Amino acid sequence: MLRRLAPALVLVFVLVLFFISYTRRVPLREFTVSRFMMDTYIQITVMEKDPAKAAAAIEDAFSVFKKVEDEMNFFSNSSLLSRLNKRAAAGVEVPEDIAFLIRESIKYGELSGGAYDITVGSLMKVWPFGESNPTVPDKKKISGALKEVGFRKIKINGRTLILEKGMEIDLSACDKGYAVDKAIEVLQRHGITSGMVNAGGNLKTIGVNIKGKPWFIGVQHPRKKSALLATLELDGRAVATSGDYQRFFFQNGVRYHHLLDPYTGYPARRCISATILAPTACLADILSTAVFVLGPDEGMKLLEKLGCDGIIVTEKEIFVSKGLQGKIKM
Amino acid sequence: MLKKYDKLIILLCIAGFFFSLAGILRTKPASFIEIKTPAETKRYNLQDQDITVKGALGDTVVIVRDSRVRVADSSCPDKWCRESGWIDKGGESIICLPNKVVVSIKSESGQREKVDAITF
């Protein structure tokens, strides 16, 4: 009897061994660390087996954000950019990353016909977003600040920057995207093959998610707080959104938000949100602002010209670029 | 006396037992609230309660009702977190940037529901 059952017992033994190895194998785990930096909430996620390797990669990726914040925070008097802005009328040497972002910003400032302008900082300082009991600034203050806006007056030769007196460079509409790209590069240098860097909804991914599937992203509905407007699978491109619901206040029933039109000095009114898919997070960041200010007609033309995709929402309509049609769920 | 097919059935039953056990060990875990402040990250259950935490600027009051969570009051200037309303799904968060408080609904496994991230 026992002899006849022996093959069966051997099989059971093998199955037990298989079960033990199945439950004890070292799986790919998801590690996420979140921090408040660059005036937003940054989440870095990696898939790794080794916790120490994951922690080292994430820490190094966060150091990118620290460096960019220390260098480029427009609203901190101690940042390098603020100190450079004060001396730029006489000509200053800027670090290569700032010079790169200024050159990129001038390029996309031209392509967007001035809708994207890194000299709107003086205007941003006039508007009291984020303060208690904010009110619309006086017209004279806005027109005064507008005189210092105009990216075409920026002179940059190599790393030498010269600004007109009173003019200031504000990289807030591209620095987070730039930091996301650099943080992704850091993760890849650490050998991370799957992960995500998300700086307040401006995000880029590598590889696949913890389920082994393409990263699945939701687009915030601009008017329904707990709802998604759309979902889409990311194809390796970065995504960023600009919306009138991010920083705003109401006065006499009118919404005043932080995405200012460089031509008028007042909040841009052609749309209520713009979500952009671009090869880099820096470009997605830049284009989300540019397209928001341009609105759906000119915005879609710009996206088509650059081979990028987007979802542009106005109070009445939703516009989806050709490249995304059929690929998103509304 | 056991026949060839009896043995096969016994083997299949044993295999089924082990894989069922593996399935039981991987059952869906419960959801919970995670509140992150500058000082600490703490977990709370989803039972009705009022939670007051210290943020960078002052207190944030979080209320839980019928497994839904919202910020009832905050020391931040813009009160956007308070205006965010209720969250009730795993993976949803309310982020108060000025007060540096994050209120999230999570599950034991850390797995999110539906989407991996939201662009906003």
Cβ of B119 and A201 within 8 Å? yes
3-class state of residue A139 by DSSP: helix
Contact A239 B118 (CB under 8 A): no
Q: Is the pLDDT of residue A279 over 90?
A: yes
More confident residue, A235 or B18: A235
Q: Do A231 and B114 touch (CB under 8 A)?
A: yes
Instruction: Kindly report the length of chain B.
Output: 120
Rounded distance between C-alpha atoms, residue A76 and residue A183, angstroms: 22
Domain housing A180:
29-329
Query: What's the pLDDT at B1?
Result: 61
Shortest CA gap A31–chain B (Å): 9
Q: Determine the residue of chain A that is closest to B83 in CA distance.
A: A225
Residue A18 covered by a domain: no
Q: Using only the alpha carbons of chain B, give its radius of gyration.
A: 22
Q: What is the pLDDT of residue B26?
A: 53
pLDDT score at A156 = 93
CATH number at residue A218: 3.10.520.10
In a domain, A11, yes or no: no
pLDDT in tens, A133-165: 889 999 999 998 998 899 999 999 999 999 988
Rounded Cα–Cα distance for residues A156 and A166 (Å): 17
Q: Is residue A7 part of a domain?
A: no
Asked if A89 reaches chain B (Cβ–Cβ under 8 Å), the answer is no
Backbone angles phi, psi at A133, to 5 degrees: 45, 60
| Pairs of residues, one from chain A and one from chain B, whose beta carbons lie less than 8 Å apart | 98
Asked whether residue A228 is domain-assigned, the answer is yes
Give the residue-averaged pLDDT of A4-19. 66
Q: What is the pLDDT of residue A12?
A: 67
Q: How far is CA A187 from the centre of its chain?
A: 17
CATH node for B31-107: 2.60.320.10
Interface test with B, best of A213, A225, A249 (most B CBs within 10 A): A225
The confidence score (pLDDT) of residue A7 equals: 67
Query: Could you read off the pLDDT of A97-128 as tens digits, one per residue?
Result: 999 999 999 999 999 999 999 999 889 889 98
How many CA atoms lie within 13 Å of A275's alpha carbon, on the beta-carbon side?
Answer: 27
Chain A nearest C-alpha distance from B78 (Å): 6
Picking from B118, B32, B37, the residue whose alpha carbon sits closest to that of residue A225 is: B118
Set of chain B residues whose Cβ sits within 8 Å of the Cβ of A247? 78
Q: How far is B42 from chain A (nearest CA, A)?
A: 14
Q: Is A305 at the interface with chain B, CB within 8 A?
A: no
Contact criterion met (CB below 8 Å) for A266 and A305: no
Beta-sheet pairing, A273-278 with A309-313: antiparallel
Segments in B26-111 forming alpha helices (H)? 80-83
Burial class (CB in 10 A: 0-12, 13-18, 19+), A20: exposed
Q: Which residues pair with B72 in a beta bridge?
A: none
- Flag whether A275 is in a domain: yes
| CB-based contact A15 B15, cutoff 8 Å | yes
pLDDT at A131: 79
pLDDT tens digits for B70-99?
999 999 887 888 888 888 888 788 889 889
- Out of A5, A19, A40, name the one closest to residue B22 (CB): A19
* ipTM field: 0.78
Give chain A positions within 8 Å (CB) of B19: 19
Integer Cα distance of A153 and A134 in angstroms: 31
> What are the residue boundaries of the structural domains of chain B, listed by start?
31-107
Q: Work out the minimum CA distance from A161 to partner chain B, whole angstroms.
A: 33
Residue A17 falls within a domain, yes or no? no
Cβ pair A114, A151 in contact under 8 A: yes
Q: Which residues of B touch A311 (CB under 8 A)?
A: none
* Confidence category of residue B43, pLDDT binned at 50, 70, 90: very high
Q: Number of structural domains, chain A?
A: 1
Residue A132 forms part of a structural domain: yes
pLDDT for B111 beyond 50: no
Written as six digits, the tokens of A201 are 């909804």
Within 8 A of A199 by CB-CB distance, chain B residues are none
| Backbone angle region of A27, left / alpha / beta, with phi > 0 → left and psi within -120 to 50 → alpha | beta
Partners of B102 in beta bridges: B36, B95
List chain B residues with CB under 8 Å of A240: 119
Tabulate helix, strand, coil % of chain A (nearest 5): 40, 25, 35
Question: CB-hemisphere CA count at 13 Å for A24?
Answer: 6
Which amino acid type is present at position A118?
A: I
Domain annotation covers residue A15: no
Residue A33 has pLDDT above 80, yes or no: yes
User: Would the pLDDT of A23 be above 60?
Assistant: no
